[in-house]
A = this chain, B = another copy of it.
Amino acid sequence: MDMNIVILRLGHRPERDQRVTTHVGLTARALGASGMLLASNDKGVIISLNEVAGRWGGSFFARIVDSWKQEVRSWKEGGGRVVHLTMYGQNLPDVIDDISKEESLMVVVGAEKVPPDIYQAADWNVAVGSQPHSEIAALAVFMDRVNAARGTEPLTQEFPGGKLKIVPHDQGKVVKEV
């Protein structure tokens, strides 16, 4: 069963959140998500994520969406389920078994403020531990554990079609142009 995970980034403030949202997108890509939808009109982030994806390979996409509500509705109508990462939710270890059975997951990653409706719209509100930390870290642990529950290893996946490839090395930097 192939996994299809798409990130929905909510509450992004243009300029101010650019760096964190870029980290969210790159983390999603590196850990096996298909793409990221950004519910904010900030083209800089999208351009930079798509540039990385082009240079380093794989089929990750990033695009701006007009209405997060419409995206959530369509996703559910297509049979997908929605996970909202929030420190207030149910703890990940308690729900990971159910969640990882799903084939299509939309993972909502909020910035500091999210529209309150998302708590009701989500199928699961999930905490990656009930402590304040980082939405980037929460997404990373979530993606890694979903992969583990499905028996896949995101850190050895191939990213075909890239122009650059790192050769793992015990010291120094080895980058191959392909």
State whether A155 and B19 are in contact (beta carbons under 8 Å apart), knowing that A30-B137, A125-B170, A166-B127 are contacts in the complex: no
19 pairs, CB–CB < 8 Å, chain A vs chain B: A20-B20, A27-B134, A27-B136, A30-B128, A31-B129, A31-B137, A52-B132, A88-B173, A89-B168, A93-B155, A94-B168, A119-B171, A120-B171, A125-B170, A125-B171, A130-B165, A130-B166, A134-B140, A136-B137
Number of interface residues of A (CB under 8 A): 56
Q: A92 CB to closest chain B CB, in angstroms? A: 6
Contacts of A168 in B (CB 8 A): 88-91, 94, 127, 130
The residue that A91 contacts in the complex, of B20, B87, B136, B155, with Cβ under 8 A, is B155
Counting CB contacts under 8 A, is A174 at the interface?
yes
Sample of 10 more A-B contacts, CB < 8 Å, known A20-B20, A20-B23, A30-B128: A23-B134, A30-B132, A88-B166, A120-B171, A129-B156, A130-B167, A130-B168, A134-B140, A136-B136, A140-B141
A positions within 8 Å CB-CB of B: 19-20, 23-24, 26-27, 29-31, 52, 56, 87-94, 119-120, 124-125, 127-134, 136-141, 144-145, 153-157, 159, 165-175
Q: A53 CB to closest chain B CB, in angstroms? A: 10
- How many monomers of this chain does the complex have? 2
Q: A177 CB to closest chain B CB, in angstroms? A: 15
Query: Are B174 and A88 within 8 A (Cβ)?
Result: yes
Q: A135 CB to closest chain B CB, in angstroms? A: 8
